[in-house]
Amino acid sequence: MKGFPLNLKRIRKVYTSVNAEDLVDTIVQVIEDIDTIPPESISNFILQDKTSSWLNFTWTNPHDTDFNHTEIYLNGIFQTDTSVEYFNATELQPETDYTISTRTVDINGNVNEAWVNSTATTDKKFVPDVEKPVSGLTGVEMNMK
């Protein structure tokens, strides 16, 4: 509905009227039926696990009956919309801070403008401590008791 001032996503009921007074009542009812209330935010947002190249976050979705999805951003860049209660950020750099930002959206497109964020640092890259074999020594006695 291009240009309609109320940003209607869909009409749920069809109203009819016989006279002008009924028409005004109908318009008022339609406006009251428009959902403009966004869902609550996610809760219990925690870093579940991490390595040097990925971070795994979990949370609890809101209990709103019209909740649809959570928008996920990594360092301010949109990643995905999801209705599951986790996100795996992959292909990350070791020892680097990353901020995961979320906001919820309902089935009518109402966006909760309150951001829920969490910042975590990837682990140091694992480098095995391998001793190089000693070679080329002469005249050295090794005692292997």
pLDDT tens readout for residues 18-47: 666 666 666 656 655 688 999 999 999 999
Residue 57 dihedral angles phi and psi, to the nearest 5°: -110, 145
- Helix H segments across the chain? 20-33
Q: What pLDDT shows up at residue 51?
A: 97
Band of residue 96 on the pLDDT scale cut at 50, 70, 90 = very high
Contacts of 74 (CB under 8 A, 6+ apart): 89, 98, 99, 100, 101
- For the chain, the structural domain boundaries read 8-36, 43-121
Which pTM was predicted? 0.68
In the chain, the percentage of residues whose pLDDT exceeds 90 is 61
DSSP letter, residue 131: P
Q: What pLDDT shows up at residue 142?
A: 61
Q: Which CATH entry fits the domain spanning 43-121: 3.30.429.10, 2.60.40.10, 3.30.1490.20, 3.30.365.10?
A: 2.60.40.10
pLDDT tens readout for residues 107-127: 999 999 999 999 999 999 988
For residues 123-141, one letter each, b for 16 or more C-beta atoms within 10 angstroms of the residue's C-beta and e for the rest, the string is eeeeeeeeeeeeeeeeeee
Q: What pLDDT shows up at residue 86?
A: 98
For residues 89 and 54, the answer to whether their CB atoms sit within 8 Å is yes
